[in-house]
Amino acid sequence: MRAHFLLFTLAFQVGVAVSECNKAPHSHPAWQALFTSQIDASGGRGGIYDAGLFTPLETLDALSDSRFTTFGHPAFPRYSVRAKKTRFCDNTVNAYTGYIDIEARHLFFYFFESRGDPSKDDVIFWTNGGPGGSSSTGLLMELGPCRVTGDGEIKYHKESWNTNANLFFIDQPIGVGFSYADYGETASTTEAAAKDVAAFVAIFFENFSQFKGRAFHMAGESYAGRYLPLFAAEVYDQNPWLAQNGLTPIHLTSIMIGNGMVDMFALVPSHYEMMCENASLPPVISISECVALKKLIPRCKKWMKAECVDHFDAVNCAAATDFCGDSMGAAFASTGRNPYDMSRNCEGDTAESLCYPLANNIAEYLSKPSIQTLLGVDPAVTGNFSVANMTVNAIFARNLDHLHPTSDHISALLEHGVRVLVYVGSYDWICNWVANERSTLDLEWSGQSVFASQELREWKVGGRHAGVTRSAKGLTFASIYAAGHMTPYDKPVETLALIQRWLTGVSL
Protein backbone atom coordinates (compact mmCIF):
# COMPACT_ATOMS: atom_id res chain seq x y z
CA MET A 1 0.00 0.00 0.00
CA ARG A 2 1.45 3.30 -1.08
CA ALA A 3 2.07 6.04 1.51
CA HIS A 4 0.87 9.48 0.43
CA PHE A 5 2.56 12.46 2.04
CA LEU A 6 0.93 15.24 0.15
CA LEU A 7 1.82 18.83 -0.58
CA PHE A 8 4.52 21.24 0.14
CA THR A 9 6.48 18.43 -1.47
CA LEU A 10 5.91 15.71 -3.99
CA ALA A 11 3.18 13.13 -3.44
CA PHE A 12 4.45 9.58 -3.86
CA GLN A 13 1.99 8.93 -6.63
CA VAL A 14 1.45 9.34 -10.34
CA GLY A 15 -1.88 10.96 -11.07
CA VAL A 16 -4.31 10.75 -13.94
CA ALA A 17 -3.24 12.15 -17.28
CA VAL A 18 -4.56 15.61 -17.95
CA SER A 19 -3.42 17.35 -21.11
CA GLU A 20 -2.58 21.03 -21.12
CA CYS A 21 -4.75 23.19 -23.34
CA ASN A 22 -2.57 25.72 -25.13
CA LYS A 23 -4.40 28.56 -26.82
CA ALA A 24 -2.91 30.38 -29.77
CA PRO A 25 -1.38 33.60 -28.44
CA HIS A 26 -2.96 36.91 -29.34
CA SER A 27 -2.29 40.54 -28.57
CA HIS A 28 -4.56 42.81 -26.62
CA PRO A 29 -6.31 44.94 -29.30
CA ALA A 30 -5.04 48.27 -27.93
CA TRP A 31 -1.47 47.10 -28.26
CA GLN A 32 -1.50 45.34 -31.63
CA ALA A 33 -0.42 48.44 -33.54
CA LEU A 34 2.63 48.90 -31.35
CA PHE A 35 4.43 45.86 -32.69
CA THR A 36 6.51 45.25 -35.75
CA SER A 37 7.18 41.55 -35.17
CA GLN A 38 5.25 38.47 -34.11
CA ILE A 39 4.97 37.21 -30.55
CA ASP A 40 7.81 34.97 -29.44
CA ALA A 41 6.17 31.55 -29.20
CA SER A 42 8.41 30.47 -26.34
CA GLY A 43 7.64 33.31 -23.98
CA GLY A 44 4.71 35.22 -25.38
CA ARG A 45 6.83 38.37 -25.69
CA GLY A 46 6.27 40.95 -28.38
CA GLY A 47 8.76 42.60 -30.68
CA ILE A 48 9.98 46.18 -30.84
CA TYR A 49 7.41 48.75 -29.76
CA ASP A 50 7.18 52.51 -29.50
CA ALA A 51 8.31 53.12 -25.94
CA GLY A 52 6.75 56.56 -26.00
CA LEU A 53 3.29 55.01 -26.05
CA PHE A 54 3.75 53.20 -22.74
CA THR A 55 2.92 55.12 -19.57
CA PRO A 56 3.79 53.39 -16.27
CA LEU A 57 1.63 53.76 -13.19
CA GLU A 58 4.80 54.82 -11.32
CA THR A 59 3.66 54.06 -7.75
CA LEU A 60 1.28 51.69 -6.00
CA ASP A 61 -0.59 54.76 -4.77
CA ALA A 62 -2.14 54.89 -8.24
CA LEU A 63 -4.23 51.83 -7.41
CA SER A 64 -7.81 52.18 -6.21
CA ASP A 65 -9.20 50.66 -3.02
CA SER A 66 -12.66 50.18 -4.55
CA ARG A 67 -11.99 48.63 -7.94
CA PHE A 68 -9.31 46.88 -9.95
CA THR A 69 -6.85 48.87 -12.03
CA THR A 70 -5.70 46.93 -15.09
CA PHE A 71 -2.19 47.42 -16.43
CA GLY A 72 0.38 45.60 -18.51
CA HIS A 73 3.18 46.26 -20.95
CA PRO A 74 3.21 46.04 -24.75
CA ALA A 75 6.31 43.86 -24.60
CA PHE A 76 4.11 41.16 -23.04
CA PRO A 77 0.92 41.24 -25.12
CA ARG A 78 -0.49 38.01 -23.72
CA TYR A 79 -0.27 39.28 -20.13
CA SER A 80 -2.04 41.93 -18.08
CA VAL A 81 -2.44 42.56 -14.35
CA ARG A 82 -5.44 43.77 -12.37
CA ALA A 83 -4.80 44.93 -8.83
CA LYS A 84 -6.33 47.01 -6.06
CA LYS A 85 -5.55 48.27 -2.59
CA THR A 86 -6.91 45.86 0.00
CA ARG A 87 -7.11 46.62 3.70
CA PHE A 88 -6.28 43.09 4.74
CA CYS A 89 -4.19 41.29 7.34
CA ASP A 90 -1.87 44.12 8.41
CA ASN A 91 -3.34 47.55 9.11
CA THR A 92 0.12 49.03 9.63
CA VAL A 93 1.08 48.84 5.92
CA ASN A 94 -0.50 49.14 2.50
CA ALA A 95 -1.64 45.82 1.05
CA TYR A 96 -2.71 44.91 -2.48
CA THR A 97 -4.35 41.91 -4.14
CA GLY A 98 -5.08 41.00 -7.70
CA TYR A 99 -4.64 38.72 -10.68
CA ILE A 100 -2.03 38.16 -13.35
CA ASP A 101 -4.13 37.46 -16.45
CA ILE A 102 -2.54 35.31 -19.14
CA GLU A 103 -5.29 35.25 -21.74
CA ALA A 104 -7.73 32.72 -20.23
CA ARG A 105 -5.54 31.88 -17.22
CA HIS A 106 -5.42 33.92 -14.03
CA LEU A 107 -2.90 33.84 -11.15
CA PHE A 108 -3.87 35.38 -7.80
CA PHE A 109 -1.37 37.32 -5.69
CA TYR A 110 -1.04 39.31 -2.46
CA PHE A 111 1.47 42.13 -1.94
CA PHE A 112 2.39 43.79 1.34
CA GLU A 113 4.60 46.83 1.67
CA SER A 114 7.48 46.73 4.12
CA ARG A 115 6.93 47.76 7.74
CA GLY A 116 10.35 49.38 7.53
CA ASP A 117 10.96 51.65 4.54
CA PRO A 118 8.91 50.46 1.54
CA SER A 119 10.57 53.07 -0.68
CA LYS A 120 14.00 51.49 -0.15
CA ASP A 121 13.59 47.94 1.20
CA ASP A 122 14.14 44.83 -0.93
CA VAL A 123 11.34 42.90 -2.61
CA ILE A 124 10.71 39.23 -1.75
CA PHE A 125 8.61 36.92 -3.92
CA TRP A 126 7.23 33.88 -2.03
CA THR A 127 5.65 30.69 -3.31
CA ASN A 128 4.63 27.55 -1.45
CA GLY A 129 5.24 24.15 -2.97
CA GLY A 130 3.12 21.10 -3.62
CA PRO A 131 2.95 21.18 -6.53
CA GLY A 132 -0.54 22.51 -5.87
CA GLY A 133 -0.01 24.17 -2.49
CA SER A 134 -1.50 27.63 -2.02
CA SER A 135 0.79 30.37 -0.77
CA SER A 136 -1.97 31.35 1.63
CA THR A 137 -0.28 28.82 3.92
CA GLY A 138 2.89 30.88 3.85
CA LEU A 139 0.86 34.04 4.32
CA LEU A 140 -1.51 32.97 7.10
CA MET A 141 0.50 30.32 8.93
CA GLU A 142 4.18 31.01 8.42
CA LEU A 143 5.83 34.29 7.42
CA GLY A 144 3.03 36.69 6.52
CA PRO A 145 1.94 39.86 8.33
CA CYS A 146 -0.87 38.00 10.10
CA ARG A 147 -1.78 34.47 11.14
CA VAL A 148 -5.08 32.67 11.26
CA THR A 149 -5.91 31.49 14.77
CA GLY A 150 -7.56 28.27 15.90
CA ASP A 151 -10.90 30.05 16.20
CA GLY A 152 -10.81 31.26 12.60
CA GLU A 153 -9.76 34.87 13.20
CA ILE A 154 -6.53 36.63 12.22
CA LYS A 155 -3.95 38.25 14.44
CA TYR A 156 -0.94 40.48 13.83
CA HIS A 157 2.30 38.56 13.30
CA LYS A 158 5.28 40.56 14.50
CA GLU A 159 7.91 38.23 12.97
CA SER A 160 6.58 38.66 9.44
CA TRP A 161 9.13 38.86 6.65
CA ASN A 162 7.69 42.23 5.64
CA THR A 163 9.38 43.62 8.76
CA ASN A 164 12.15 44.85 6.46
CA ALA A 165 11.00 43.85 2.96
CA ASN A 166 8.17 44.32 0.49
CA LEU A 167 6.52 40.92 0.23
CA PHE A 168 4.66 39.01 -2.52
CA PHE A 169 2.64 35.81 -2.12
CA ILE A 170 1.45 34.11 -5.29
CA ASP A 171 -0.96 31.21 -5.86
CA GLN A 172 0.68 29.30 -8.68
CA PRO A 173 0.46 27.45 -10.97
CA ILE A 174 -3.01 28.02 -12.43
CA GLY A 175 -5.70 26.26 -10.40
CA VAL A 176 -4.02 26.74 -7.02
CA GLY A 177 -5.78 28.77 -4.31
CA PHE A 178 -7.76 31.63 -5.87
CA SER A 179 -6.05 31.21 -9.24
CA TYR A 180 -8.27 29.87 -12.02
CA ALA A 181 -8.65 29.32 -15.75
CA ASP A 182 -11.62 30.13 -17.96
CA TYR A 183 -11.52 26.74 -19.65
CA GLY A 184 -9.77 24.58 -17.05
CA GLU A 185 -6.26 24.71 -18.50
CA THR A 186 -3.18 24.93 -16.28
CA ALA A 187 0.59 24.74 -16.37
CA SER A 188 1.73 21.13 -16.30
CA THR A 189 5.47 21.59 -15.74
CA THR A 190 7.71 23.94 -13.79
CA GLU A 191 9.19 25.21 -17.07
CA ALA A 192 5.74 26.41 -18.20
CA ALA A 193 5.00 28.01 -14.84
CA ALA A 194 8.35 29.84 -14.92
CA LYS A 195 7.42 31.84 -18.02
CA ASP A 196 4.25 33.18 -16.37
CA VAL A 197 6.15 34.22 -13.25
CA ALA A 198 8.96 35.94 -15.17
CA ALA A 199 6.51 37.93 -17.31
CA PHE A 200 4.60 39.10 -14.24
CA VAL A 201 7.77 40.21 -12.47
CA ALA A 202 8.83 42.28 -15.49
CA ILE A 203 5.39 43.90 -15.86
CA PHE A 204 5.22 44.77 -12.16
CA PHE A 205 8.64 46.39 -11.96
CA GLU A 206 8.18 48.26 -15.24
CA ASN A 207 4.82 49.71 -14.19
CA PHE A 208 5.81 50.58 -10.63
CA SER A 209 9.06 52.40 -11.26
CA GLN A 210 9.41 53.05 -7.52
CA PHE A 211 10.78 49.48 -7.36
CA LYS A 212 13.06 49.65 -10.42
CA GLY A 213 16.57 48.49 -9.61
CA ARG A 214 15.49 47.27 -6.19
CA ALA A 215 17.09 44.02 -4.94
CA PHE A 216 14.72 41.16 -5.75
CA HIS A 217 14.72 37.80 -3.95
CA MET A 218 12.73 34.70 -4.87
CA ALA A 219 11.82 32.51 -1.90
CA GLY A 220 9.72 29.47 -1.11
CA GLU A 221 9.68 26.05 0.48
CA SER A 222 9.47 22.37 -0.35
CA TYR A 223 8.59 21.87 -4.03
CA ALA A 224 9.92 25.40 -4.43
CA GLY A 225 13.27 23.60 -4.52
CA ARG A 226 12.13 22.66 -8.00
CA TYR A 227 10.26 25.89 -8.74
CA LEU A 228 12.67 28.60 -7.64
CA PRO A 229 15.85 27.69 -9.55
CA LEU A 230 13.87 27.57 -12.79
CA PHE A 231 11.82 30.69 -11.99
CA ALA A 232 14.98 32.61 -11.14
CA ALA A 233 16.78 31.36 -14.25
CA GLU A 234 13.86 32.54 -16.40
CA VAL A 235 13.91 35.98 -14.73
CA TYR A 236 17.68 36.24 -15.15
CA ASP A 237 17.72 35.02 -18.77
CA GLN A 238 14.90 37.41 -19.65
CA ASN A 239 16.99 40.43 -18.60
CA PRO A 240 19.01 40.86 -21.84
CA TRP A 241 15.77 40.82 -23.83
CA LEU A 242 14.28 43.44 -21.48
CA ALA A 243 17.30 45.69 -21.93
CA GLN A 244 17.25 45.32 -25.72
CA ASN A 245 13.61 46.40 -25.76
CA GLY A 246 13.98 49.41 -23.51
CA LEU A 247 12.80 47.84 -20.24
CA THR A 248 14.77 47.82 -17.01
CA PRO A 249 16.38 44.46 -16.15
CA ILE A 250 15.31 42.85 -12.86
CA HIS A 251 17.93 43.10 -10.11
CA LEU A 252 17.70 39.42 -9.16
CA THR A 253 19.84 39.19 -6.05
CA SER A 254 19.17 35.79 -4.50
CA ILE A 255 16.98 32.75 -4.12
CA MET A 256 16.04 31.36 -0.71
CA ILE A 257 14.98 27.69 -0.65
CA GLY A 258 13.39 26.47 2.56
CA ASN A 259 13.19 22.72 3.22
CA GLY A 260 13.44 22.20 -0.51
CA MET A 261 13.17 19.29 -2.88
CA VAL A 262 16.16 20.03 -5.07
CA ASP A 263 17.20 16.48 -5.95
CA MET A 264 14.75 13.60 -5.59
CA PHE A 265 17.57 11.08 -5.90
CA ALA A 266 19.36 12.50 -2.86
CA LEU A 267 16.11 12.77 -0.95
CA VAL A 268 14.97 9.12 -1.09
CA PRO A 269 17.99 7.53 0.68
CA SER A 270 18.10 10.38 3.21
CA HIS A 271 14.70 9.26 4.53
CA TYR A 272 16.38 6.12 5.86
CA GLU A 273 19.03 8.18 7.65
CA MET A 274 16.38 10.36 9.28
CA MET A 275 14.44 7.32 10.50
CA CYS A 276 17.30 5.07 11.56
CA GLU A 277 20.57 6.94 12.11
CA ASN A 278 19.99 9.58 14.80
CA ALA A 279 20.26 12.34 12.20
CA SER A 280 18.02 14.60 14.28
CA LEU A 281 16.12 12.36 16.69
CA PRO A 282 16.52 8.80 18.00
CA PRO A 283 15.37 6.12 15.50
CA VAL A 284 11.60 6.14 14.99
CA ILE A 285 11.17 2.66 13.49
CA SER A 286 12.22 -0.79 14.69
CA ILE A 287 15.63 -2.36 14.27
CA SER A 288 14.24 -5.03 11.94
CA GLU A 289 12.63 -2.38 9.72
CA CYS A 290 15.85 -0.37 9.63
CA VAL A 291 17.86 -3.45 8.66
CA ALA A 292 15.43 -4.29 5.86
CA LEU A 293 15.46 -0.71 4.52
CA LYS A 294 19.23 -0.48 4.73
CA LYS A 295 19.52 -3.41 2.33
CA LEU A 296 17.44 -1.48 -0.21
CA ILE A 297 19.65 1.62 -0.21
CA PRO A 298 22.47 0.31 -2.50
CA ARG A 299 19.92 -1.13 -4.91
CA CYS A 300 17.90 2.09 -4.96
CA LYS A 301 20.93 4.29 -5.52
CA LYS A 302 22.18 2.08 -8.36
CA TRP A 303 18.74 1.82 -9.97
CA MET A 304 18.01 5.56 -9.80
CA LYS A 305 21.47 6.48 -11.04
CA ALA A 306 21.18 4.17 -14.02
CA GLU A 307 17.64 5.11 -15.06
CA CYS A 308 17.35 8.72 -13.89
CA VAL A 309 20.83 10.24 -13.88
CA ASP A 310 23.09 8.47 -16.38
CA HIS A 311 20.22 8.62 -18.86
CA PHE A 312 16.58 9.45 -18.28
CA ASP A 313 14.13 6.64 -19.00
CA ALA A 314 10.72 7.89 -17.94
CA VAL A 315 9.20 4.46 -17.24
CA ASN A 316 12.17 2.97 -15.41
CA CYS A 317 13.04 6.15 -13.51
CA ALA A 318 9.46 6.45 -12.28
CA ALA A 319 9.48 2.78 -11.29
CA ALA A 320 12.73 3.17 -9.36
CA THR A 321 11.68 6.27 -7.43
CA ASP A 322 8.19 4.91 -6.77
CA PHE A 323 9.49 1.65 -5.36
CA CYS A 324 12.24 3.22 -3.26
CA GLY A 325 10.14 6.19 -2.14
CA ASP A 326 7.15 4.03 -1.28
CA SER A 327 9.30 1.68 0.78
CA MET A 328 10.59 4.56 2.88
CA GLY A 329 7.19 6.25 3.01
CA ALA A 330 5.33 3.18 4.18
CA ALA A 331 7.82 2.63 7.00
CA PHE A 332 7.45 6.20 8.19
CA ALA A 333 3.65 6.22 7.84
CA SER A 334 3.44 3.23 10.17
CA THR A 335 4.79 5.40 13.00
CA GLY A 336 1.85 7.82 12.89
CA ARG A 337 4.28 10.72 13.07
CA ASN A 338 4.05 13.98 11.21
CA PRO A 339 6.25 13.74 8.09
CA TYR A 340 6.76 17.51 8.25
CA ASP A 341 7.86 17.39 11.90
CA MET A 342 9.18 14.08 13.22
CA SER A 343 8.98 15.29 16.81
CA ARG A 344 5.17 15.18 16.84
CA ASN A 345 2.35 12.93 15.75
CA CYS A 346 0.23 13.72 12.72
CA GLU A 347 -2.99 15.54 13.61
CA GLY A 348 -5.72 14.92 11.09
CA ASP A 349 -5.34 13.74 7.51
CA THR A 350 -2.16 14.47 5.58
CA ALA A 351 -4.05 15.21 2.36
CA GLU A 352 -6.54 17.65 3.91
CA SER A 353 -4.80 19.26 6.87
CA LEU A 354 -1.16 18.36 6.19
CA CYS A 355 -1.13 17.09 9.78
CA TYR A 356 -1.83 20.64 10.97
CA PRO A 357 -5.44 21.48 11.93
CA LEU A 358 -4.56 25.13 11.37
CA ALA A 359 -4.57 24.42 7.63
CA ASN A 360 -8.30 23.72 7.91
CA ASN A 361 -8.75 27.03 9.75
CA ILE A 362 -7.04 28.83 6.86
CA ALA A 363 -9.35 27.13 4.37
CA GLU A 364 -12.42 28.05 6.41
CA TYR A 365 -11.28 31.67 6.77
CA LEU A 366 -10.62 32.13 3.05
CA SER A 367 -13.93 30.43 2.19
CA LYS A 368 -15.88 33.26 3.86
CA PRO A 369 -17.76 35.30 1.21
CA SER A 370 -16.92 38.54 3.03
CA ILE A 371 -13.19 37.79 2.90
CA GLN A 372 -13.32 36.82 -0.77
CA THR A 373 -15.18 40.04 -1.56
CA LEU A 374 -12.58 42.04 0.36
CA LEU A 375 -9.73 40.38 -1.54
CA GLY A 376 -11.42 40.79 -4.90
CA VAL A 377 -11.64 37.08 -5.66
CA ASP A 378 -13.11 36.63 -9.12
CA PRO A 379 -16.70 35.25 -9.19
CA ALA A 380 -15.41 32.52 -11.49
CA VAL A 381 -13.77 30.95 -8.41
CA THR A 382 -16.51 28.88 -6.77
CA GLY A 383 -16.75 26.42 -3.90
CA ASN A 384 -14.83 26.30 -0.66
CA PHE A 385 -11.20 27.36 -0.60
CA SER A 386 -8.59 24.62 -0.42
CA VAL A 387 -4.96 24.95 0.66
CA ALA A 388 -4.11 22.18 -1.81
CA ASN A 389 -5.17 21.34 -5.37
CA MET A 390 -4.63 17.64 -5.92
CA THR A 391 -5.52 17.86 -9.62
CA VAL A 392 -2.55 20.15 -10.18
CA ASN A 393 -0.42 17.82 -8.06
CA ALA A 394 -1.45 14.85 -10.21
CA ILE A 395 -0.74 16.70 -13.47
CA PHE A 396 2.81 17.54 -12.41
CA ALA A 397 3.32 13.98 -11.15
CA ARG A 398 2.02 12.55 -14.41
CA ASN A 399 4.59 14.63 -16.27
CA LEU A 400 7.34 13.39 -13.91
CA ASP A 401 8.22 17.01 -13.15
CA HIS A 402 9.68 16.02 -9.77
CA LEU A 403 12.23 13.71 -11.38
CA HIS A 404 14.32 16.55 -12.80
CA PRO A 405 16.85 17.87 -10.26
CA THR A 406 17.53 21.60 -10.20
CA SER A 407 21.14 21.38 -9.05
CA ASP A 408 22.50 22.54 -12.39
CA HIS A 409 20.23 25.60 -12.37
CA ILE A 410 21.43 26.47 -8.87
CA SER A 411 25.06 26.08 -9.95
CA ALA A 412 24.47 28.32 -12.96
CA LEU A 413 22.75 30.98 -10.85
CA LEU A 414 25.75 31.01 -8.50
CA GLU A 415 28.14 31.34 -11.43
CA HIS A 416 26.13 34.36 -12.62
CA GLY A 417 26.37 36.08 -9.25
CA VAL A 418 22.95 35.21 -7.83
CA ARG A 419 23.32 34.24 -4.17
CA VAL A 420 21.64 31.05 -2.92
CA LEU A 421 20.39 30.31 0.60
CA VAL A 422 19.29 26.78 1.48
CA TYR A 423 17.72 26.58 4.95
CA VAL A 424 15.98 23.63 6.56
CA GLY A 425 14.34 22.66 9.84
CA SER A 426 16.14 19.85 11.63
CA TYR A 427 12.93 17.91 12.43
CA ASP A 428 11.58 17.77 8.88
CA TRP A 429 11.49 14.27 7.43
CA ILE A 430 9.98 14.82 4.00
CA CYS A 431 12.57 17.35 2.72
CA ASN A 432 15.18 16.91 5.40
CA TRP A 433 18.46 18.58 6.25
CA VAL A 434 20.53 15.50 5.36
CA ALA A 435 19.45 15.63 1.70
CA ASN A 436 19.64 19.41 1.55
CA GLU A 437 23.14 19.58 2.97
CA ARG A 438 24.30 16.78 0.68
CA SER A 439 22.83 18.58 -2.34
CA THR A 440 24.75 21.77 -1.53
CA LEU A 441 28.01 19.85 -1.07
CA ASP A 442 27.53 18.02 -4.38
CA LEU A 443 26.83 21.13 -6.48
CA GLU A 444 29.23 21.28 -9.42
CA TRP A 445 30.39 24.90 -9.68
CA SER A 446 33.55 26.95 -9.40
CA GLY A 447 33.09 27.48 -5.66
CA GLN A 448 32.47 23.83 -4.80
CA SER A 449 35.86 23.05 -3.24
CA VAL A 450 35.89 26.24 -1.17
CA PHE A 451 32.33 25.68 0.05
CA ALA A 452 32.90 22.00 0.86
CA SER A 453 36.08 22.82 2.79
CA GLN A 454 34.14 24.94 5.29
CA GLU A 455 33.27 23.20 8.54
CA LEU A 456 29.72 23.41 9.82
CA ARG A 457 29.58 25.99 12.56
CA GLU A 458 26.93 27.03 15.03
CA TRP A 459 24.87 30.14 14.44
CA LYS A 460 22.95 31.92 17.18
CA VAL A 461 19.99 34.21 17.74
CA GLY A 462 19.78 36.14 20.99
CA GLY A 463 22.76 34.20 22.31
CA ARG A 464 20.97 30.85 21.85
CA HIS A 465 21.85 28.00 19.50
CA ALA A 466 19.73 28.34 16.36
CA GLY A 467 21.33 25.75 14.08
CA VAL A 468 24.46 25.06 12.06
CA THR A 469 25.66 26.70 8.87
CA ARG A 470 28.24 26.58 6.11
CA SER A 471 28.86 29.42 3.64
CA ALA A 472 31.21 30.41 0.83
CA LYS A 473 31.17 32.19 -2.54
CA GLY A 474 27.52 33.22 -2.36
CA LEU A 475 26.11 29.86 -1.24
CA THR A 476 24.85 29.33 2.31
CA PHE A 477 23.42 26.24 3.97
CA ALA A 478 21.72 26.67 7.33
CA SER A 479 19.75 24.37 9.59
CA ILE A 480 17.19 25.64 12.08
CA TYR A 481 17.24 23.58 15.24
CA ALA A 482 13.95 21.94 16.37
CA ALA A 483 11.97 23.31 13.40
CA GLY A 484 9.94 21.23 11.01
CA HIS A 485 9.11 21.59 7.33
CA MET A 486 7.53 25.01 7.85
CA THR A 487 10.38 26.64 9.70
CA PRO A 488 8.83 30.15 9.91
CA TYR A 489 5.84 28.58 11.70
CA ASP A 490 7.91 26.64 14.21
CA LYS A 491 10.73 29.14 14.72
CA PRO A 492 9.54 32.59 13.65
CA VAL A 493 12.17 34.56 15.60
CA GLU A 494 15.11 32.51 14.35
CA THR A 495 13.86 32.36 10.76
CA LEU A 496 13.27 36.12 10.59
CA ALA A 497 16.77 36.73 11.97
CA LEU A 498 18.13 34.40 9.30
CA ILE A 499 16.33 36.28 6.53
CA GLN A 500 17.28 39.72 7.85
CA ARG A 501 20.94 38.76 7.95
CA TRP A 502 20.69 37.31 4.45
CA LEU A 503 19.08 40.45 3.01
CA THR A 504 21.75 42.69 4.50
CA GLY A 505 24.64 40.40 3.60
CA VAL A 506 25.58 39.80 7.24
CA SER A 507 27.16 36.42 7.98
CA LEU A 508 25.10 34.05 10.09
pLDDT at 181: 93
Q: Is residue 462 situated within a structural domain?
A: no
pLDDT at 300: 95
Q: Where are the beta strands (DSSP E) in 300-454?
A: 337-338, 341-345, 419-425
- Cα separation, 166 vs 168, in Å, equals 7
What 3-state DSSP class applies to 418?
coil
Identify the active-site residue in 157, 428, 439, 471: 428
Write down the pLDDT at residue 52: 65
Per-residue pLDDT of the chain (508 residues; tens, 9 = 90+): 334 444 333 333 323 222 223 333 333 333 333 333 333 434 556 655 556 668 888 899 899 999 999 999 999 999 999 999 999 999 999 999 999 999 999 999 999 999 999 999 999 999 999 999 999 999 999 999 999 998 888 999 999 999 999 999 999 999 999 999 998 787 889 999 999 999 999 999 999 989 999 999 999 999 999 999 999 999 999 999 999 988 999 999 999 999 999 999 999 899 999 999 999 999 999 999 999 999 999 999 999 999 999 999 999 999 999 999 999 999 999 999 999 999 999 997 766 678 999 999 999 999 999 999 999 999 999 989 999 999 999 999 999 999 999 999 999 999 999 999 999 999 999 999 999 999 999 999 999 999 999 999 999 999 999 999 999 999 999 999 999 999 999 999 999 999 999 999 999 9
Query: Residue 463 falls within a domain, yes or no?
Result: no
Query: What domain range includes position 98?
Result: 1-454+468-508
pLDDT at site 27: 33
Nearest residue to 6 via CA among 402, 277, 361: 402
Position 354 scores a pLDDT of 85
Longest dimension (CA), the chain: 73
What are the residues whose beta carbons fall under 8 Å from the beta carbon of 340, sequence distance 6 or more? 8, 354, 355, 356, 428, 429, 430, 484, 485, 486
Question: 3-class SS at 460?
Answer: strand
pLDDT of residue 13: 34
Q: Return d(Cα 131, Cα 119) in angstroms, integer.
A: 33
Say whether 428 is catalytic. Answer: yes
What is the model's pLDDT at position 12?
Answer: 36
Q: Is residue 333 part of a domain?
A: yes
> CB neighbours (10 Å) of residue 91?
10
**pLDDT at site 48:** 57
Q: 222, 386, 439, 479: which one is catalytic?
A: 222
**What is the helix (H) or strand (E) element at residue 393, kind and residue range?**
helix 390-398
pLDDT of residue 186: 79
Task: Please tell me the predicted confidence (pLDDT) of residue 4.
Answer: 40
From 160, 401, 485, 490, the catalytic residue: 485
Q: Which residues neighbour 370 within 8 Å (Cβ) at sequence distance 6 or greater? A: none
Q: Is residue 167 included in any domain, yes or no?
A: yes
Task: Please say if 222 is a catalytic residue.
Answer: yes
- Give a yes or no: residue 325 inside a domain: yes
CATH number at residue 183: 3.40.50.1820
In this prediction, residue 47 carries a pLDDT of 58
Q: What is the DSSP pairing of strand 419-425 with strand 341-345?
A: unpaired
Confidence (pLDDT) at 50: 58
CB atoms within 10 A of CB 384: 9
Q: What's residue 154's pLDDT?
A: 93
Domain-located, residue 386: yes
Would 436 be classed as within a structural domain?
yes
The three-class DSSP label of residue 425 is: strand
How many structural domains is the chain composed of? 1
Check if the beta carbon of residue 195 is closer than 8 Å to that of residue 44. yes
In 3D, which of 461, 493, 473, 477 has the Cα closest to residue 426? 477
Say which residues have a Cβ less than 8 Å from residue 212's Cβ, sequence separation at least 6: 205, 206, 248
Residue 459 lies in a domain: no
- What pLDDT is attached to residue 179? 96
